[in-house]
Structure 1
Amino acid sequence: MASLPTERQRQIASFLRSESRERGIAPTQREIAERFGFASLNSVRSHLRLMEKKGMLNRLPGKARGLELKKRPVIGIPLVGRIAAGHPRLASEDEGEIVPVSPDLFPGSDLFALRVKGESMKDDGILPGDIAVMARQNDVAEGEIAAVLLDDEATLKHIYRPRGKVVLRGANPAFPDIVIRDGQSGSVRILGKYVGLIRTQGAAR
């Protein structure tokens, strides 16, 4: 799961960038603590550790000013609407928003994103407010998670194909399976395969 930087982490990155540009050196951890009012260096180290994990910077061991922001290529994934992880709901065709990500985070070249509503996939760690990243394709393997269009409504579910029917199954026992029997399967269209998740600050925990 990819995790977006918090507002504070973006502020720290901006401070690192401006200090390095204006002074020619990165700030120390103590200078970062003073700039943002952290009570201890442990808070600074925690932020820097998470920023390193998110691919925002390199920490050079043994150097007081050993902080180096990474210059990483970015691609934009179109956010095309909302998808229900619960009962099917209509996903809008185009919200006009682009989600910037590193190109090595998600496999596939034809990607799109949908914002999750509902809790039927919560046991798979997919929560309301999350951004589900999808690879555009019209079929998936048995049991994989897909964005599915069902009678003009979109939902995010595991797909199973027992004999004579299609079953859309969530990851929350409170939500029953959606069963499409023979003769109705033409109303089901796979929009894409789920390949990963971006969790924003506003997502449910």
Structure 2
Amino acid sequence: MYEDLNQRERDVLFYLIQQIQLKGYPPTVREICQQLNIKSTSTVHGSLEKLEIKGYIKKDPTKPRAIEILNNSEDVFLNKKKTVDIPIVGQVSAGAPILAFENIEDTYPLPIEFAQDRNLFILKIVGESMINAGILDGDFVIIEKRDFAKNGDKVLALIGEDSTVKTFYKEKDGFRLQPENDFMEPIYVKDLKILGVVVGLYRKM
């Protein structure tokens, strides 16, 4: 199952399933863009159309948020044999940078198809500097461990001994870590280390 989906289609499908199970209704197209770091809403619309054509979802054209999950897709979240436990490795500030704890506090099951062969871990957000991106205080962000990112990615960055989640931009004379909060200023640094890129999010209700 899911062999006919590319990675983006899988990410969109699993995010739909996750949010419907957590909230009882699907996310908006813009929310999907924010959580999956997709810049264009037309890209999400295209993925939704392909998911419908391939029989994974059914949309109601008269109701923008009405999406029904088909083909037993939700089983991927309910069947433990199809999940892998991802470590939750403490907290990271989304306000003033603080050092993230390296100890594993807990685990959270994610679909094998979502995890693929990616090196994932989860961090809890403390603070409100990413609220415009839909990342709220107390949310859990799913991070793919890697040391590179492109402009616009939401990253976990290490500045000295402190870590923080911000939107990443490479500038002429260094780097800009941009908070997604109108009342907070960007952080400019000459040097930093990227610990990972945010690829998903879940919220405890």
TM-score computed with the length of structure 2 as normaliser: 0.62
Q: Which residue of 1 aligns with 2:4?
A: none
Among 192, 198, 204, the residue aligned to 1:200: 204
**Counterpart-to-counterpart distance in 2, 1:50 and 1:107:** 25
Which of these two proteins has the greater Rg computed from alpha carbons? 1
CA distance in 2, matches of 1:143, 1:91: 22
* d(CA) in 2 for partners of 1:107, 1:84: 27
Alignment of 1:26-105 (within 5 A): 56=74, 71=79, 73-105=82-114
Deviation at 1:166, TM superposition (A): 0.7
- Kindly indicate whether the alpha-carbon contact (under 8 Å) linking 1:106 and 1:196 is maintained by their aligned counterparts in 2: no
For structure 2, the residue ranges without an aligned partner over 5 or more in a row are 1-14, 23-65
> Residue 180 of structure 1 aligns with which residue?
189
RMSD: 3.0
Q: Of residues 124, 140, 160 in structure 2, which corresponds to 1:115? A: 124
Question: Given the superposition, is the C-alpha separation of residues 108 and 195 from structure 1 closer, same or farther in structure 2, using an over 3 Å criterion?
Answer: farther
Q: SS of the counterpart of 1:104? A: helix
Measure, in 2, the Cα distance between the counterparts of 1:120 and 1:101: 26
1: CA distance, partners of 2:123 / 2:111: 18
Instruction: Give the Cα separation in 1 of the matches to 2:162 and 2:146.
Output: 17
- SS of residue paired to 2:171: coil
The residue that corresponds to 1:145 in the other structure is 154
Q: Residue deviations 1:18-53, cap 9 Å, x none?
A: xxxxxxxxxxxxxxxxxxxxxxxxxxxxxxx99969
- Separation in 2, partners of 1:70, 1:127: 26
Q: Report deviation, 1:160.
A: 0.8
The match for 1:191 is 195
Query: SS where residue 147 of structure 1 aligns?
Result: strand
Determine the C-alpha separation between the residues in 1 that align with 2:166 and 2:73.
30
Unaligned runs of 5+ in 1: 7-48, 58-68
1:60 maps to: none
Structure 2 CA distance for partners of 1:102 and 1:139, relative to 1, 3 Å: same
Report how far residue 70 of structure 1 moved: 5.4
TM-score by length of 1: 0.62
Given the alignment of the two structures, is residue 124 of structure 1 paired with residue 133 of structure 2, yes or no?
Answer: yes
Q: Which residue of 1 aligns with 2:50?
A: none
| Residue 199 (structure 1) shift | 1.1
* Percent identity (aligned): 27
For 1:13, the equivalent position in structure 2 comes to none
| Contact 1:107–1:195 under 8 Å retained in 2 | no
* Structure 1 moving runs of 4+ over 2 Å: 1-6, 49-57, 69-72, 103-108
Q: How many residues align?
A: 145
Change (3 A) 1:196 1:172: same
Q: SS in structure 2 opposite 1:119?
A: coil
Aligned to 1:159: 168
